[in-house]
Amino acid sequence: MSEFLRPELRALEPYVPGEQPVGKKFIKLNTNESPFPPSPKVVEMAAEAAKRLQLYPELDGGGLRGLIAERLGVEKENVAVTNGSDEALNFIFKAFCSPSSPAAFADITYGFYSVFAAINGVPFTVIPLRQDFSIDPKDYIGIEKNIFIANPNAPTGLTISQEDICRIAESNPKNIVVIDEAYVDFGGVSAVPLVRKYQNLIVVQTFSKSRSLAGARVGFAVACKDIIDDIYRIIYSTNPYNLSRTNLAAGIGAISDEDYTVANCKKIAATRERISAKLRGLGFKVTDSSANFLFASYPGIGGKTLYEKLKERGILVRHFDKPRISEYLRITVGSDEEMDILVKNIAEIIDSEAKI
C-alpha cells in the first residue's frame, strides 16, 4: 500500500474472484462460466466489429440496447447496457446509495455487494438468511434501505417469489430494490415485468452465464426511465464508452441467437438435476438450485478438505471460508462429461476417507 492511497480506502477488502488458473489444465467448475462456447453469431459479429476498432464504439449500448429491450418487452429507455453486470451494480451503488441512504442485503449472497458498498462509502446492514438459507421476506418489509437481492441467490441457488418481491418493493417506496438476476435463465422467474409497476425496482442481468459471454463483459439494468437516466448520468461521468465495439457486437450476436441460449440453459438445468440426484445419493446435502451451479456439503468431510482434494485431482470448485457456509462447495454445472468426472472423483475421495 502506498502512502498516497486515500485513507478511506485503506481498510477496503477487495472482492476475491474465483481462481483463473494459467498453465495447468483444470476441469473448471469454480466461476459459473458456461461449458458451451458462444454462439457462432457472436464470433462472426465480434470479428466483423474488430475491423472498425480504430473508431470509438457507439454510445448508450448502440444497437444492443434496443435488442435487449425488444427481447424483454420493455422500451429502450428502460435499459442501461453495462460492462458486465458488476458495472451495473457498482453504478447503482454510486447513483442511489450514500451514508444517508444505506444498503441492505443477506449474510449469504453475492460477495461483491459489500465491496461495492465499501468502495462507495455506503453503510450497510447484513440480514441473515433463515437456517435453510431461504430469505425471510418479512426481514425486508419497510426497512427503508436500498435492498440488493440475488434471485436466484448465489451461492445457494435458492429463489424468492414474485409476490415477495412485490411486497418488498411496495413497502420501501423511498428506496431502490435491486433484483440481481445473473442466474435467472437457468430456472428462475424474472422480475422484469414488475418494473412497469414499481418505480423503485431495478433488475440486473448478465450475458456472462446463459449467453456464454463471461469473457466479453456484457450486462444490463432494467428499470423505469428516470432510474435508467440516472445510471447513464454515472456512465457519462465515468466512461461513456463503457463497452467496446467487440463487446457490443458479441452481445448483439448472442441476443440474435436465442434458440442457442435456450437450448444451452435446458441442457445445464437437466445436468444440474441429474448431478444433484447423484450427489444426494452419495450422502450430500444439496440445496434446490435454480442456477447453473450446485451448493453442496458432505457430512464428515470438511468443505475446505474436499475442495483441496478435488483440486489435487485437477478439478476446481469454489469454497468460501465464511461463517455458515464453510462446509459447502459451490460447483458450477459443466458439461455432462465434466460432471461425470466430478462425481467419479468425489465418490473415490469419499471411499478413501472412509478407509482412513
Residues making contact with ligand PMP (CB under 6 A): 84-86, 110, 150, 154, 180, 182, 206, 208, 214, 219
Which pairs count as long-range contacts for 173-176, CB under 8 Å and 24+ apart, including other chains? 173/200, 174/144, 174/200, 175/101, 175/144, 175/145, 175/146, 175/147, 175/200, 176/92, 176/96, 176/146, 176/147, 176/200, 176/201, 176/202, 176/227
Min dist. Cβ of residue 150 to ligand PMP (A): 4
Decide whether 119 or 214 has the Cβ nearer to ligand PMP.
214
Q: Kindly state the smallest distance separating residue 240's Cβ from ligand PMP, in Å.
A: 19
Q: Is 5 helix (H, G, I), strand (E, B) or coil?
A: coil
The Cα 164–Cα 146 span in angstroms is 16
Q: In whole angstroms, how close is the CB of 219 to ligand PMP at the nearest point?
A: 4
- Closest approach, Cβ 182 to ligand PMP, in A, equals 4
Residue number with the shortest CB distance to ligand PMP?
84
Nearer to ligand PMP, 65 or 278 (CB): 65
Closer of 86 and 257 to ligand PMP (Cβ): 86
Q: How far apart, in whole angstroms, are the C-alpha atoms of residue 23 and residue 108?
A: 32
- Of the pair 27, 182, the CB lying nearest ligand PMP is at 182
Least Å distance, CB 297 to ligand PMP, is: 19
Cα–Cα distance for residue pair 162/48, rounded to 1 Å = 41
Which of these, 272, 250, 256, 276, lies nearest to 333 by C-alpha position? 272
- Contact between 85 and 205 under an 8 Å Cβ cutoff? The reply is yes
Smallest gap from Cβ 177 to ligand PMP, in A, equals: 15
If the CB atoms of residues 214 and 347 are measured against ligand PMP, the closer one turns out to be 214
C-alpha to C-alpha distance for 97 and 95, rounded to whole angstroms: 6
| Identity of the residue, 86 or 185, whose beta carbon is nearer to ligand PMP in the bound complex | 86
